[in-house]
């Protein structure tokens, strides 16, 4: 992974412009000196929290200056080898300014399993976390070293969403993504404000559906390494890394009741992969976009709609080699229809 973080400045599609025009991309170096950065998050102020895969969370100030002392050092417990293991995700509680809670997703050096844990900010120094404050919410056994997912995001509903890969190897040999009792290959949704250490939201789609694990929000994912919520509409966008032929972007509209099956390993993108007893494609929710696997894998996504009427532009940020332009223009149009 590149040790330099760059700020992507321009990726504008003007609704008044021509749909066929390729927008210019301008990269500006913002903050440097990081080792294997996998995520950048913020807690509602001007600081950026940079997650390094081998266990450090480092703060960059508003000018791009990297603080010398890590916010949190988990290098003693997280995996120190493997391209898909380590400290993989960070999310700040919506009320972080008041309660100081934040959540991490990591695989452990000791056993390779996934841990979802809560930590607390230092009571006297806002640039430090309390390393002794760990509360483990979930432990998920990982059968292989890859496809660990890793992302954490709070949804507009205040619940914590957790993207879990299918457990790894290749081709999901145990069919975890379609196994209702397994948390692998799923999008999870939990309530961290109630229960000990969490509870299941009563509106989760499988809360009363044995043998489904009640924490499951959606299934049929291969490795949803990064996903995000549109801050304006509440829609969810999921970047799901493909197997050998197709990378895909999945979509769930705001207000969905959950329970969507995105098809893996029955389908890779829109193509049949291993149908078996998976039923027809009509029983699954297909991706909104796919691209062939001759480009690098899908690394992340953010989908933004700017709400100011005077701007009327769409900003799209997707960390892949190629710019997926024309096929997503319709979503930009929908995004801004309410402001025209």
- Residue 248 sits in a domain of what CATH number? 2.120.10.30
- Is the distance from CB of 43 to CB of 92 less than 8 angstroms? yes
Rg of the chain on CA atoms, in Å: 20
Q: Is the pLDDT of residue 295 over 90?
A: no
Burial tier of 253 (Cβ tally within 10 Å: 0-12, 13-18, 19+): exposed
Beta-bridge partners for 250? 238
Q: CA dist 175 to 140, 275, 299, 306, 311, Å?
A: 16, 11, 23, 40, 46
> What's the farthest any 2 CA atoms get from each other in the chain?
57
pLDDT value of residue 300? 53
pLDDT of residue 303: 52
- Tell me the HSE value of 258 on the side-chain side, using a 13 A CA sphere: 21
pLDDT: which is higher, 164 or 301:
164
Report the DSSP pairing between strands 101-107 and 129-140. unpaired
Q: Summarize pLDDT for 15-64 with one digit per residue, the tens.
A: 334 444 545 556 788 999 999 999 999 999 999 999 999 999 999 999 99
Q: What is the pLDDT of residue 281?
A: 61
Following CA atoms 9, 14, 17, 23 in sequence, which dihedral angle do they give, to the nearest 10 degrees? 30
Which pLDDT does position 254 carry in this prediction?
Answer: 95
Sign of CA dihedral 282, 287, 289, 291: negative
Q: Is the pLDDT assigned to residue 8 strictly greater than 50? A: no
Closest CA to 55 of 83, 79, 81: 79
pLDDT digit string, tens, across residues 194-230: 999 999 999 999 999 999 999 999 999 999 998 999 8
Confidence band (pLDDT; 50, 70, 90) for 318? very low
Q: How do strand 114-121 and strand 101-107 relate by DSSP bridges?
A: antiparallel
Cα separation values, 101 from 62, 122, 134, 150, 169, Å: 22, 10, 10, 18, 34
For residue 301, what are the CA distances in angstroms to 23, 36, 224, 238, 247? 18, 18, 10, 7, 13
Look at residues 89, 84, 52, 85 and name the one whose alpha carbon lies nearest to residue 71: 52
Cβ count within 10 A of residue 332: 20
Percentage of the chain surpassing pLDDT 70?
Answer: 77
Number of other CB atoms surrounding residue 7 within 10 Å: 13
How does pLDDT run across 161-189, given as a tens digit for each residue?
A: 999 999 999 999 999 999 999 999 999 99
First-to-final CA distance of the chain: 41
pLDDT of 320 higher than 50: no
Mean pLDDT for the chain? 83
- Give the predicted TM-score (pTM) of the model: 0.86
Domain assignment of residue 302, given as a range = 4-337
CA distance 108 to 78: 4
Counting the structural domains of the chain, the total is 1
- Please give the pLDDT value at position 313: 37
Q: What's residue 131's pLDDT?
A: 97
pLDDT above 50 (res 157): yes
Instruction: Give the C-alpha separation, 11 to 319, whole Å.
Output: 12
């Amino acid at each position: 992974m590149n040790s330099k973080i760059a700020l992507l400045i321009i990726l504008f599609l003007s609704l008044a412009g021509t749909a066929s025009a390729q927008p210019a991309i301008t990269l500006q170096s913002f903050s440097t000196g990081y080792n294997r950065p996998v995520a950048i998050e913020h807690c509602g102020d001007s600081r950026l929290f940079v997650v390094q895969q081998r266990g450090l969370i480092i703060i960059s100030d508003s000018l791009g200056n990297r603080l010398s002392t890590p916010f949190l050092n988990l290098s003693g417990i997280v995996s120190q080898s493997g391209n898909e293991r380590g400290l993989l995700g960070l999310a700040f509680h919506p009320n972080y300014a008041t309660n100081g809670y934040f959540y991490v997703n990591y695989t452990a050096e000791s056993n390779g399993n996934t841990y979802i844990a809560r930590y607390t900010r230092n009571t006297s120094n806002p640039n430090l976390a309390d390393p002794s404050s760990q509360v483990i919410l979930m432990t998920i056994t990982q059968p292989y070293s890859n496809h660990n997912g890793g992302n954490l995001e709070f949804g507009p509903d205040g619940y914590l969403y957790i993207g879990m890969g299918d457990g790894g190897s290749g081709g999901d040999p145990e069919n975890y993504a379609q196994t209702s009792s397994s948390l692998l290959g799923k999008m999870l949704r939990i309530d961290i404000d109630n229960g000990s250490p969490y509870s299941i939201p009563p509106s989760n789609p499988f809360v009363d559906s044995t043998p489904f694990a009640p924490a499951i929000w959606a299934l049929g994912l291969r490795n949803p390494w990064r996903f995000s919520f549109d801050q304006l509409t509440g829609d969810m966008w999921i970047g799901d890394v493909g197997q050998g032929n197709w990378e895909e972007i999945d979509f769930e509209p705001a207000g969905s009741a959950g329970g969507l099956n995105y098809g893996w390993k029955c389908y890779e993108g829109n193509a049949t992969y291993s149908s078996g007893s998976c039923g027809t494609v009509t029983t699954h929710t297909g991706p909104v976009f796919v691209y062939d696997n001759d480009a690098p894998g899908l690394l992340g996504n953010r989908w933004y709609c700017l709400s100011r009427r005077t701007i009327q532009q769409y900003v799209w940020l997707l960390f892949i080699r190629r710019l997926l332009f024309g096929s997503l223009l319709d979503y930009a149009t929908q995004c801004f229809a309410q402001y025209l």
